[in-house]
């Protein structure tokens, strides 16, 4: 008979956290310094700060509250998100400084380092969306560390061997995170998980908490997409494109959701998730969007694909492959990421007069996608195999999607 | 006997959304372009961005969560708000570009266009506050489109025939929105709605969600009032005046609420709504406020009037005229808007030495108010008559203030 | 027999609010003016605005929602916070202008005045954290006014007699607020309050509202610490240090919380409160933090001390001294504040070569702490004795931690 209580994490979580944190402090003490010249070159850090805060709000509050929709999993949704985010960010700062460490044995950090690190963290938080509720915090932290490492490796490969621009590499966060997470949840599938978990549902109040997360992601997405771009006409274009794409994908999500419902009702989950798909798709293709209607069309396509896939494909993935995707990451980040890639390809080829260059670009562009996909999926499989290990004491099926496995409810226990 | 289920919106909402969205994309494809010179003139767009985000937060999260106080209507309150906001914003961008379209057959957009459009959207969201809970999303979208059109027409009339400054026109959003909404809800009144709707109440948790919306409106109101003003001493004055007026109206709301309660208790609805009235009143008169105490006095008067009217007038409006105002828009935006208009008149006349000029200004100022009122009220009546049409399948009385008419609750249905 | 209903506040709260507000308006009318030259000197106010908004969000929404964790006290937690914040801010503006009033009989205000005032307000809100739930709004307002006066007096003493820098004075807000609050709650202790109050607990939903407050404080803490510092390398250092210290203290809080729990579960209260302790400690010592690992170590120590003290010391304080500290202010602000003071001392001495100077600095530094502690504690005792007076109609024990004593619940009463 299975044990009645959730496994005790005391001997796993506390040592892991202390080990990681001490390790980080040692590495920082040896190699990391504040960049003393960061403010010399035209005060960019000062302008950056308010945009950094937008991205910070997305990572900490946006993703944090997006994950609170599960009726008994709100503490974990927001609490573990904070924990994972701060660890992944500290780790990303180290990894992103690797090249400078090779050269000078020290890593200089400024606000831009923090922004880059938070973008990597966002990619890990996306992956975690697939397994939330079925894992414990120890597993989440391991996943985040491996995902971030893979994502940074992917960016390095693309930049070094394909001379892809850093902005485009960063925008692969959605595709990388989604397919990493997908393989992860596939490897970690549980027997009998084709039937829905008892506690995997939303109620009137948790739906609103989750809406709060959605709205903060939705509102500040323009900052996420434009933060790596310097002031100028391009930045303005990206801000406006992102707003328009998000607006259209919100409309598309509502339209498709009500259209595919026999009783003509909207699914709040669709609105919350698919309203963001326009931001994902435009993020991958935005450099080449020069007219508002192009952004809107990309947003429309993303919204439609995303909502349809959440309505039909998600269930199919579960039944056919046993691939249970808690937050619908495939629909929200995976497919819109691919769509954005396709839009990028089409827009780029459209700009080119010469057929040979176009074909060369297409081949090159397909290669970057294949590398991202294969690296993310193989890293996802490896990570899945590692964290599946029962040494990490994953929660039993009965304790999935339940805060009570991880959080003290002393007062409740005493009184009721 | 009335049908048991709420009307099916599948054949109304989905086509309307797709029609509007496709129409917008076609119009944008034909006429709208990013302004390539937006960044040439002193980087104003860059400074504007963080203030734009404040206004964006107000429109999307502030108004969205303000409408979640109804105990069974939170999904609709925040979800429909997003839907209406993105449609109204896209439409406003087109209408605001009308004049430039006349000249050059194209509409150039930059961040300022988006800011203007969101201000128009705010005016529509204010109107919608009167009918929330008693309408379906199809009706809300139609109302928003007509309201925005009326508001932009009103601004155009004031600017063209009365040479009113654009800032003052924009600040009519409260007055216009409130009286539009008031006539709308009067025209759309239902039989027997003098008795309160069963589900029209707040509970401990929805009160907090609504508080969240209030606070985000309260905090960023200074951005809303100052965003159209260029850097300088005037902008600083407006920011400080708005803060002070809001602070005083929060105190006044609490004082009046507790004073008018026989058992000495505060009404959270009063705090949430009337704390904002100072921002409305100062918004209309701020150009002429040169001393802090003037802003505070306006805030005090607004808070007192607003709370008294919410306590006594709201019920009277319902009983005497059948005018059911869900969010108390008359008290929060209507009367403080009129108060701000009066304060503007008094302050302006006070500045003038010459009696003839003063009378001329007074006549002129009364005319602008009359135009705004008559246009908003007549547009409200027309809109009400149009959306009242049963073709749009409005919810039955029993389904008012209930999310279940519009939203899927699959998991709840399955388990409980 | 005690009366069944909570005391009626009508004759206390309404006159107090009107008296204070009218008084403020009169003082502002006589002496306060907008600074007409605020914009002359290099547009600093313009850059300041978005940081001001961050601090404003912390004060209004952050502290407001942090106090909503009590299951039946959410309306009061957020509503009274707003009320207290706006009154304390208006009062702080006056007191901060005292010196300029002495010189020129007028007080010129700009955005910086508002920022300073909000920092003083934050200190009052920290104090109030100790007595929340056991006081009525009349008492809270009196406490806030006296606390703010004491805090400003403390800053003036430190600046005048010890030539302490204004930044360091402002950062005493945590220490001053915490020890003021601690003495306050000790003086105001009730008989029999060693047994926990029936309604003093968190539930699944109020925990999330409180998490929302925590996250907004956590995210914008870097703005709070850096807002008084001018652009430049130091500001960047402070931003990054604050982020790192907060990140590490979040990890430490989780680690210690799970380690000290026999069943290996995390306490959400620890995460919410102790994640912030890094920001407190670094706030007091940040001027001297020149390397990232120093900030991280301070964050680690703060997180560990804060969580241990919340786990063990809080209960001990209650049993041994009858000192009931609702929000654990001693653990979150008091001890980390002392830790920051210690870190400041060590770092400063470390920089000094000369032993005599070092000793002189240490004596000087100990004096500033002693002054802050003795002033805050004596003011706390005085305030406690004053507000304890039954004239202010404090709630009965049975009505503690209950919104129903202060707020109208008309609809609930009618229907259920």
Q: Could you tell me how many CB contacts below 8 A there are between chain B and chain C?
A: 174
Which tens digit of pLDDT belongs to each residue from C190-219? 877 667 777 788 888 899 999 999 999 999
> Which tokens is A240 given?
């406006």
| Rounded Cα gap, residues C34 and C24, in angstroms | 15
Residues 6+ apart with CB under 8 A from A27: A94
Report CA-CA distances (Å) from C341 to B236, B261, C172, C306.
Answer: 36, 48, 9, 15
| Rounded Cα gap, residues B397 and B188, in angstroms | 12
Q: Is the pLDDT of residue A279 over 60?
A: yes
Are B14 and A255 inside 8 Å of each other by CB? yes
Here the ipTM equals 0.94
Give mean pLDDT, residues B202-212. Answer: 90
Strand partners, B107: B32
Instruction: Please give the pLDDT value at position A416.
Output: 34
Are A263 and B109 inside 8 Å of each other by CB? no
Could you write out the DSSP letters of every residue in C51-62?
A: HHHHHHHIIIII
Give mean pLDDT, residues B402-411. Answer: 82
If one counts every other C-beta atom within 10 angstroms of the C-beta of residue C53, the result is 24
CA distance C13 to chain B (A): 7
Which tens digit of pLDDT belongs to each residue from A83-136? 999 999 999 999 999 988 999 999 999 899 999 999 999 999 999 999 998 999
User: Considering chain C, what is the average pLDDT of its residues?
Assistant: 90
Give mean pLDDT, residues C304-320. Answer: 91
CA distance B47 to chain A (A): 9
Instruction: Please give the pLDDT value at position B203.
Output: 86
Instruction: Please give the pLDDT value at position C155.
Output: 95
Instruction: Please give the pLDDT value at position A106.
Output: 92
Using an 8 Å CB-CB cutoff, list chain C residues near B202: 411
Position C185 confidence tier, pLDDT thresholds 50, 70, 90: very high
> Which tokens is B120 given?
């128009």
Which tens digit of pLDDT belongs to each residue from A324-372? 888 999 999 999 999 999 999 999 998 888 889 899 999 999 999 999 9
Position A411 confidence tier, pLDDT thresholds 50, 70, 90: low
Q: Where are the alpha helices (DSSP H) in C309-354?
A: 314-321, 329, 335-351
Q: Is the pLDDT of residue A212 over 60?
A: yes
Using an 8 Å CB-CB cutoff, list chain B residues near C57: 219
3-state secondary structure of A118: helix
Using an 8 Å CB-CB cutoff, list chain B residues near A291: 28-29, 32-34
Q: Is the pLDDT of residue A47 over 80?
A: no
Instruction: Please give the pLDDT value at position C41.
Output: 54
For residue A49, what is the nearest residue in chain B, using CA coordinates? B50
> Strand A32-34 vs strand A107-109: parallel, antiparallel, or unpaired?
parallel
Instruction: Please give the pLDDT value at position A44.
Output: 56
What is the reported pTM? 0.95
Return the residue matching tokens 């509250």: A65
Using an 8 Å CB-CB cutoff, list chain B residues near C43: 231
Position B415 confidence tier, pLDDT thresholds 50, 70, 90: very low
Give mean pLDDT, residues C37-47. Answer: 62
Are A50 and B50 inside 8 Å of each other by CB? yes
Position C413 confidence tier, pLDDT thresholds 50, 70, 90: very low
| Rounded Cα gap, residues A70 and A403, in angstroms | 10
> Which tokens is C349 given?
């001495």
| Rounded Cα gap, residues C185 and B96, in angstroms | 58
- Which of the residue ranges A50-59, A195-204, B6-15, B171-180 would you say has the lowest mean pLDDT? A195-204
Position A322 confidence tier, pLDDT thresholds 50, 70, 90: confident
Give mean pLDDT, residues B162-183. Answer: 92
CA distance B105 to chain C (A): 36
Residues 6+ apart with CB under 8 A from C10: B258, B259, B261, B262, B263, B264
Instruction: Please give the pLDDT value at position A28.
Output: 96
If one counts every other C-beta atom within 10 angstroms of the C-beta of residue B351, the result is 11
Which tens digit of pLDDT belongs to each residue from B270-307? 999 999 999 999 999 999 999 999 999 999 999 999 99
Instruction: Please give the pLDDT value at position B193.
Output: 64
Position C6 confidence tier, pLDDT thresholds 50, 70, 90: confident
Strand partners, B34: B109
- Which of the residue ranges A115-124, C60-69, C296-305, C406-415 would you say has the lowest mean pLDDT? C406-415
Using an 8 Å CB-CB cutoff, list chain B residues near C209: 208
Burial degree of A353 (CB within 10 A; 0-12, 13-18, 19+)? exposed
| Rounded Cα gap, residues A329 and A314, in angstroms | 9
CA distance C202 to chain B (A): 13
Q: Torsion angle of alpha carbons B209, B215, B217, B220, nearest 10°?
A: -140
Instruction: Please give the pLDDT value at position B125.
Output: 96
Chains that touch C (3 or more CB pairs under 8 A): A, B
Which tens digit of pLDDT belongs to each residue from A132-184? 989 999 999 999 999 999 999 999 999 999 889 989 889 999 999 999 999 99
Position C411 confidence tier, pLDDT thresholds 50, 70, 90: low
Among the partner-chain residues C17, C20, C111, the one whose CB lies closest to the CB of B239 is C111
Which tens digit of pLDDT belongs to each residue from C322-354? 888 889 999 999 999 999 999 999 999 988 888
Burial degree of A389 (CB within 10 A; 0-12, 13-18, 19+)? exposed
Q: Is the pLDDT of residue B359 over 60?
A: yes
Q: Is the pLDDT of residue A3 over 90?
A: no
């Amino acid at each position: 008979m299975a044990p009645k209580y959730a496994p005790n994490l005391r001997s796993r979580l506390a040592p892991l956290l202390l080990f990681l944190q001490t390790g980080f402090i040692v590495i920082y003490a040896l190699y990391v310094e504040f960049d003393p010249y960061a403010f010399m070159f035209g005060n960019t850090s000062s302008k950056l700060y308010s945009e950094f805060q937008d991205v910070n709000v997305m990572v900490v509050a946006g993703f944090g509250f997006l994950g609170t929709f599960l009726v008994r999993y709100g503490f974990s949704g927001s609490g573990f998100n904070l924990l994972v985010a701060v660890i992944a960010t500290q780790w990303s700062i180290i990894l992103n400084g690797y090249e400078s460490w090779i050269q000078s044995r020290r890593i200089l950090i400024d606000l831009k380092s923090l922004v880059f690190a938070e973008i990597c963290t966002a990619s890990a938080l996306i992956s975690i969306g697939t397994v939330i509720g079925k894992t414990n915090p120890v597993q989440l932290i391991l996943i985040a560390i491996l995902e971030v490492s893979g994502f940074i490796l992917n960016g390095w490969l693309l930049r070094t061997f394909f001379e892809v621009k850093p902005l485009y590499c960063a925008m692969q966060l959605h595709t990388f995170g989604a397919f990493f997470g997908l393989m992860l949840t596939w490897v970690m599938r549980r027997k009998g998980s084709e039937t829905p978990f008892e506690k995997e549902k939303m109620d009137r109040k948790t739906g609103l908490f989750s809406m709060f997360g959605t709205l903060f992601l939705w509102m500040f997405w323009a900052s996420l997409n434009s933060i790596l771009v310097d002031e100028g006409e391009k930045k303005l274009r990206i801000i406006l494109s992102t707003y328009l794409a998000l607006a259209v994908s919100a409309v598309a999500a509502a339209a498709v959701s009500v259209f595919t419902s026999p009783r003509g009702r909207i699914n709040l989950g669709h609105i919350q998730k698919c309203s963001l798909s326009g931001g994902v798709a435009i993020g991958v293709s935005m450099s080449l969007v020069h007219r508002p209607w192009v952004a809107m069309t990309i947003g429309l396509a993303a919204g439609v694909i995303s909502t349809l896939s959440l309505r039909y494909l998600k269930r199919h993935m579960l039944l056919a492959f046993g691939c249970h995707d808690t937050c619908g990451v495939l629909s929200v980040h995976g497919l819109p990421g691919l769509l954005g890639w396709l839009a990028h390809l089409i827009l780029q080829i459209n700009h080119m007069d010469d057929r040979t260059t176009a074909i060369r670009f297409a081949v090159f562009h397909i290669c970057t996608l294949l590398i991202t996909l294969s690296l993310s999926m193989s890293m996802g499989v490896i990570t899945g195999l590692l964290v599946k290990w029962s040494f990490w004491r994953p929660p039993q099926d009965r304790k999935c999607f339940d805060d009570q496995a991880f959080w003290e409810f002393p007062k409740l226990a005493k009184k009721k």
